[in-house]
Amino acid sequence: MADTTPPDYTWPGFEALPPPLQDAHRRFFQALAQRRPLTLREYRRAFRVLYAFLQEQGIGDLTTLTAQDLEAFQHWAYRSYHWAPGNMAACLRALRRIGDILTTLGLLVTNPFGQVPLVTPQVQPSATAQPLSWFRATHRFLRWLNTQRATPSTIGAYLQAVRHFQAYLAIAGSCRPSELTATHLVQFRLFLTQHPGRVRRPLSPVMQRVTVERLERFLRWLAQEGLRPPMEPKHTARLNTVLSEFLAFGRMRRARETSQQYARHLRYFQAWLAQRPKGQRVRDIDLLNREVLADYQRWLNTEAIRASGVPLTQSDKESRLYALKAFLHFAHRKGYLPQDLRRFIVVPRRMHKVPKRLPSAEEMAQLLEAPSESTTLGIRDRAMLELAYSGLRSAELLALKVTDVQLEENRVFIRQAKGDKDRVVPMTSAARYWLGRWLQRRSEFWKGTDPETCFLSKHARPLTRRHFAVTLRRHAKRARLPMAVAPHDLRRITATHLAERGAPLRLIQALLGHTSLKVTTRYLRLSDERIKREYTKSHPSNRRDHHRVAVA
């Protein structure tokens, strides 16, 4: 019989196999080529591993295989090739397909691989087994990422994280994955603050966090596959210590306002834990469980009140629960909690409210003209309202520096806005005029306290958000507006007025500093008059000539 087997599916030493196995190998790949399989490489690997096992056991014919032989084959493959259960499952799928084709060709009476269960033995450290090296462990993890359809850039990012850790081990002392401890991860975080990256300078805080997260996921995968013992849990830590670590992590990852809000809500949770009876207080994080979280949610819904004595609103409850869920997720990922307790927190769905009516362009003009033009504080308030009407957030407005105001270019530069992003916001002619007048009068209030902040109080201190909200409410009342106006409503008003005058949605998104267009659409509140006008102009029925239709 001529050897028509493609050379890619043989290997050195193939001719040393028994003739029945060689014949089965050739005929299988001939039949497989006619059926155009998807992955020939998996079949070749399954054949080669199976043949190596049969040679070692002295088995020369596939018809003599038993269930005990195939179970021993799986244990042998785990031990010899350091396979993960996913590799073994792929090999068994290929062997089942091989058995089906060989049975169709008449080489086997029955398929011995048809009902073979997958064996996932617990890998125990052995004194004779060679420890897994970083190279082989990384290679298997990257192959697993490839099976999960990870992009090449993602695979390269994980490889770069492992290389950073190997650079740390080259300094701290080499160790294998099975010898890694929690102390290595702590020292690795400190190492990243000084380790030079590709541009010969330390990694940014965001890249340090991402690198540690990728390495931790790599180590969790090794523990799940049985290639290394799991990391010792850190659930014996104090709750206050973990909270401090979470808040420090949040300051590096989230916006400043979000981090402050999380800290405020979690202090609320700590105060509730301290008020519990003496035998039910939680000091260690491992004492957090489903019952404690259920009691906290029950207390929020029934007894919780604000500092002013007013009951919590639905928005207040949601904010506190979302902050707690973020903390529990962090504690679980860092190994402080053995399980993720977020599933025990139920955030009730908020009912959609009818959007309130926003001021029209005429009403907004009345609001802008409400501050007095004869006083310095009135000029300051007019300049603040004009800038807020340009699309600035209240936090961006109050943190604006004098050096970031560019009157000649008719724009302001916003530094480290939400999400640590910088952007440039153009000014209207009215905003430029009143801001210029305020900068001329500003020297009357500057007494050397904060020369950089643009807007100051009468005591020469930076304004607070509460001060700005009270000022806006006072001017809205003076303008006799029929609705209440909050500081954040000015951004919605800006977006709505621009959209009503035909501004593109992408321009509004760039002006407001949104990363997603979906967020921008939430700011748009079309007026009833425009909806009626556009409906009358666009609907086909409104363009028919009904007055000429004769009425019977």
pLDDT higher than 80, residue 200: no
Q: What is the pLDDT of residue 230?
A: 56
The CATH number assigned to the domain holding 307 equals: 1.10.150
Has residue 111 been placed in a domain? no
If we measure between CA atoms, which residue out of 4, 49, 50 comes closest to residue 28? 4
From 344, 369, 403, the end of a domain falls on 344
pLDDT higher than 60, residue 467: yes
Reported as a pLDDT band with limits 50, 70 and 90, residue 285 is confident
Q: Which residues are catalytic?
A: 393, 418, 488, 491, 514, 523
Domain total in the chain = 4
pLDDT higher than 50, residue 8: no
**Where is pLDDT greater, at 126 or 283?**
283
pLDDT higher than 80, residue 196: no
**Where is pLDDT greater, at 96 or 224?**
96
**Torsion, CA 528, CA 529, CA 534, CA 535, rounded to 10:** 60
Reported as a pLDDT band with limits 50, 70 and 90, residue 549 is very low
pLDDT, tens digit, for every residue of 328-347? 888 887 777 777 888 888 88
Under 8 Å between Cβ of 155 and 146? yes
Give the mean pLDDT of 372-378. 89
CA distance 513 to 338: 39
Mind giving me the DSSP string for 187-233? HHHHHHTT-B-TTSSBPPHHHHHHHHHHHHHHHHHHHHTTSSPPPPP
pLDDT, tens digit, for every residue of 161-176? 888 888 888 777 767 7
For residues 374 and 509, membership in a common domain is answered with yes
From 344, 369, 404, the end of a domain falls on 344
The CATH number assigned to the domain holding 471 equals: 1.10.443.10
Q: What is the pLDDT of residue 442?
A: 83
For residues 298 and 421, membership in a common domain is answered with no
Q: What is the pLDDT of residue 129?
A: 41
CA distance 158 to 148: 14
For residues 483 and 383, membership in a common domain is answered with yes
**Where is pLDDT greater, at 231 or 108?**
108
CA distance 536 to 552: 27
Q: Which domain holds residue 82?
A: 7-104
pLDDT higher than 70, residue 352: no
pLDDT higher than 80, residue 401: yes
From 224, 256, 274, the end of a domain falls on 224
Has residue 56 been placed in a domain? yes
pLDDT higher than 60, residue 234: no
Q: What is the pLDDT of residue 50?
A: 83
For residues 315 and 368, membership in a common domain is answered with no
Q: What is the pLDDT of residue 474?
A: 92
Give the mean pLDDT of 185-198. 68
- Helix, strand, coil percentages (3-state) for the chain, rounded to 5, are 60, 5, 35
CA angle, 466 as apex, 460 and 471 as ends, to 5°?
75
**Where is pLDDT greater, at 495 or 449?**
495
Q: What is the mean pLDDT of the chain?
A: 76
Under 8 Å between Cβ of 73 and 50? yes
Has residue 153 been placed in a domain? yes
CA distance 302 to 295: 11
pLDDT higher than 70, residue 133: yes
For residues 270 and 374, membership in a common domain is answered with no
pLDDT higher than 80, residue 403: yes
For residues 25 and 81, membership in a common domain is answered with yes
Distance linking the first and last C-alpha atoms of the chain: 95
Reported as a pLDDT band with limits 50, 70 and 90, residue 3 is very low
Q: What is the pLDDT of residue 385?
A: 92
Give the mean pLDDT of 417-436. 84
pLDDT higher than 80, residue 211: yes
Reported as a pLDDT band with limits 50, 70 and 90, residue 434 is very high
pLDDT higher than 70, residue 32: no
pLDDT higher than 60, residue 121: no
Reported as a pLDDT band with limits 50, 70 and 90, residue 382 is very high
**Where is pLDDT greater, at 382 or 449?**
382
For residues 269 and 203, membership in a common domain is answered with no
Proportion of the chain above pLDDT 70, given as a percent? 75
Single pTM value for the model:
0.49
Has residue 128 been placed in a domain? no
Q: What is the pLDDT of residue 381?
A: 92
pLDDT, tens digit, for every residue of 64-104? 777 778 888 887 777 666 666 667 777 877 888 888 887 88
If we measure between CA atoms, which residue out of 399, 428, 424 comes closest to residue 412? 424
For residues 177 and 323, membership in a common domain is answered with no
E-strand stretches of 279-431 = 405-406, 411-414, 423-426
For residues 290 and 209, membership in a common domain is answered with no
For residues 153 and 83, membership in a common domain is answered with no
If we measure between CA atoms, which residue out of 95, 102, 97 comes closest to residue 77? 95
Burial 59-89 (b: 16+ CB within 10 A, else e): beebeebeeeebeebbebbbeeebbbbebbe
Has residue 126 been placed in a domain? no
Give the mean pLDDT of 462-483. 89
Q: What is the pLDDT of residue 331?
A: 84
Has residue 287 been placed in a domain? yes
CA distance 186 to 27: 57
Contacts of 217 (CB under 8 A, 6+ apart): 158
CA distance 40 to 35: 11
pLDDT higher than 60, residue 192: yes
| 462 three-class SS | strand
Has residue 539 been placed in a domain? no
For residues 491 and 408, membership in a common domain is answered with yes
Q: What is the pLDDT of residue 126?
A: 42
For residues 402 and 266, membership in a common domain is answered with no
Has residue 139 been placed in a domain? yes
